[in-house]
Chain A
Amino acid sequence: MSTLRARSPVSYLLALPAALWMLAALIVPTIFIVWVSFWATRTFSLASPLALINYAKFFSRSTYVKLLVDTVQQSLLLMAITLVLGYCIAYFIVVKVRRPQLQLWLFLLLVVPFWTSALIRTIAWIPFLGVTGVINQALLFLGVVDQPVSAFLYSLTGITLAQVSFYTLLATGPVAYTLRNVPPSLREAAQCLKATPLHVFWRITFPLTLPGVVIGQILVFLNVMADFATASAIGGNKYAFLGNLVILLYDSGQLPFASVIAVLLMLCMLGGVAVLLKMVDIRRLGVA
Chain B
Amino acid sequence: MAEHDLELKHVTKRFGTFVAVNDLSLVVEPGQFICLLGPSGCGKTTTLRLIAGLEEADAGEIRIAGARVNATPPWQRDIAMMFQDFALFPHMTVERQVGFGLEMLKRRKDEIRRRVREILTTFEIAPLAARKPDTLSGGQRQRVALARALITEPRILLLDEPIGSLDFSLREAVMLELKDVQRRLGISFVWVTHDQNEAFSLGDRVVVMNHARIEQVGRPEEIFERPRTRFVATFVQGHNVLDGAVESVEGEQVRVRTPVGGFVVPARELPPPPPGTTVSFSVRAELLTERPGPEHGNRVRATCHAVEYLGSVRRYDLRLPDGRSVKYEQFAAAAARIAEGAEVTLGWRPDEGVLHLPADGRT
Report A's interface with B, CB cutoff 8 A: 183, 185-186, 188-196, 199, 203-204, 207-208, 287-288
Residues in chain B near residue A191, CB distance under 8 A: 53-54, 73-75
Residues in chain B near residue A199, CB distance under 8 A: 104
Task: Report whether B54 and A188 are in contact in the complex, using a CB–CB cutoff of 8 Å.
Answer: yes
Residues in chain B near residue A190, CB distance under 8 A: 89, 100, 104
Decide: A287 near B81, CB < 8 A? Known: A194-B75, A194-B105: no
CB distance from A264 to the nearest CB of B (A): 37
Residues of chain B in range 53-111 having any CB-CB distance to chain A below 8 Å: 53-54, 73-76, 79-81, 83-85, 87-91, 100-101, 104-105
Considering the complex, give the chain A residue whose CB is closest to the CB of B104.
Answer: A194
The number of inter-chain residue pairs (CB within 8 angstroms) is: 64
Decide: A185 near B101, CB < 8 A? Known: A194-B75, A194-B152, A196-B75: no
User: Quick one: which of B54, B85, B134, B148 contacts A193, CB cutoff 8 A?
Assistant: B148
Residues in chain B near residue A287, CB distance under 8 A: 90, 134
Residues in chain A near residue B101, CB distance under 8 A: 193-194
Q: Is residue B209 contacting chain A, with contact meaning CB distance below 8 A? A: no
User: Quick one: which of B73, B83, B89, B105 contacts A204, CB cutoff 8 A?
Assistant: B89
Decide: A193 near B83, CB < 8 A? Known: A188-B74, A208-B90, A288-B90: no
Residues in chain A near residue B81, CB distance under 8 A: 188-189, 192
Q: Is residue B52 contacting chain A, with contact meaning CB distance below 8 A? A: yes
Decide: A193 near B152, CB < 8 A? Known: A188-B54, A188-B83, A199-B104: yes
State in angstroms the CA–CA spacing of A266 and B79 once bound together. Answer: 55
Majority DSSP secondary structure for residues of A touching B: helix
State in angstroms the CA–CA spacing of A163 and B247 once bound together. Answer: 84
CB distance from A74 to the nearest CB of B (A): 33
Interface centre among A191, A204, A287, A288 (most CB of B within 10 A): A191
Residues of chain B in range 186-202 having any CB-CB distance to chain A below 8 Å: none
8 A-B residue contacts at CB 8 Å? A183-B87, A185-B85, A190-B100, A192-B80, A193-B75, A195-B100, A204-B89, A208-B91
Residues of chain B in range 7-66 having any CB-CB distance to chain A below 8 Å: 52-54
Interface centre among A188, A189, A191, A288 (most CB of B within 10 A): A189
Task: Report whether A185 and B87 are in contact in the complex, using a CB–CB cutoff of 8 Å.
Answer: yes
